[in-house]
Structure 1
Amino acid sequence: MTVLLTMLRKAAAPVLIGGVLLVFMLALLWVILVKFDTMLERAARTAAEARDAYWTGEIERSNAEANRLLADQAKAALAIETSANARVRAVEIQLANLENANAALPGGDDCGLSRDRVRVLPN
């Protein structure tokens, strides 16, 4: 029986050594895969941050352009309003002058238009 145990030990030793090596190789493979997964996650995170930074810049640039266009429109509207107000004031002044000229004519109670009143009318 001791001979049998000795033979069994001699036969089992390479299997045990092979098993230990297999466990060691599997553990090493697992560590390598974990490191590889970490590298992939870091690369994906870096790519996402770069993409987000790019699009944030694009959005800020387009917002600045839109704000500039709005400011230009506001300036143009203010210029148009100023011009319109000046025209309205000029027409009001002209109307006041016509009313004063009409009131200054003699015979305000006359019926119809006289030659002097027709000359006061705008063309």
Structure 2
Amino acid sequence: MNRYLVIGLGALAITAAIVWGGVAAVSKVESLVDKAAASARSERDNYWRAEIEKSNAAAQAKIAETLKQTMAAQDAARDQIEAANQRADALEKQNVSLPDDGTGGISRARVRLLNQR
């Protein structure tokens, strides 16, 4: 019986070593999986962060371009208004310089000035 006891204890020791090695292997695999998952999450987050930055940069460029166009349109409108005001001032000066014929109506020369406006 002593011989069977030694064989049983040996088999038990081998089984324990196999189980312990299996548990250690599973723990190692879990650790590797966790590291791989963390790495994948980090890469994904970095990719989307970069995509968002690209999108924001494109939006900022579009806003800047629109602002430049708006400012150019405002400058052009201001120039046109100023030119129209100067033209109106010149026409008023011409109107004042025309003689008054005393008929109470609008003379032909004044009508021509109105048509230029």
The normalised TM-score by structure 1 is 0.85
**Which of the numbers 72, 96, 120 marks the counterpart of 2:113?**
120
Task: Specify the alignment match of 2:5 in structure 1.
Answer: 12
Shift of 1:119: 2.4
Q: Which amino acid aligns with 1:59?
A: I
Question: Highest relative contact order (Cα 8 Å, sep 6+), 1 or 2?
Answer: 2
Q: For 2:86 and 2:41, how far apart are their aligned partners in 1?
A: 67
Q: Which amino acid aligns with 1:34?
A: S
Cα distance change of structure 1 residues 93 and 72 upon mapping to structure 2, 3 Å threshold: same
Q: Which runs of 5+ in 1 are unaligned?
A: 1-7
1:63 partnered with 2:56? yes
Cα distance change of structure 1 residues 114 and 56 upon mapping to structure 2, 3 Å threshold: same
* Alignment RMSD (CA, Å): 1.6
- 1:103-118 alignment to 2 at 5 Å? 103-107=96-100, 110-118=103-111
Q: Which amino acid aligns with 2:106?
A: L
SS of the aligned residue for 1:121 comes to: helix
Shift of 1:19: 1.1
Shift of 1:113: 0.9
53-62 vs 74-83, greater mean Cα deviation: 53-62
**Which of the numbers 58, 77, 80 marks the counterpart of 2:73?**
80
Cα distance change of structure 1 residues 104 and 76 upon mapping to structure 2, 3 Å threshold: same
How many aligned positions are there?
Answer: 116
Q: Which runs of 5+ in 2 are unaligned?
A: none
Shift of 1:106: 2.4
- After superposing on structure 2, the runs of 4+ consecutive aligned residues of structure 1 that deviate more than 3 Å are none
Cα distance change of structure 1 residues 85 and 23 upon mapping to structure 2, 3 Å threshold: same
Which structure has the larger Rg over C-alpha atoms? 1
The normalised TM-score by structure 2 is 0.89
SS of the aligned residue for 1:26 comes to: helix
Q: Deviations over 1:20-70 (max 9, x none)?
A: 211121111101110111011111111111111111111111111111111
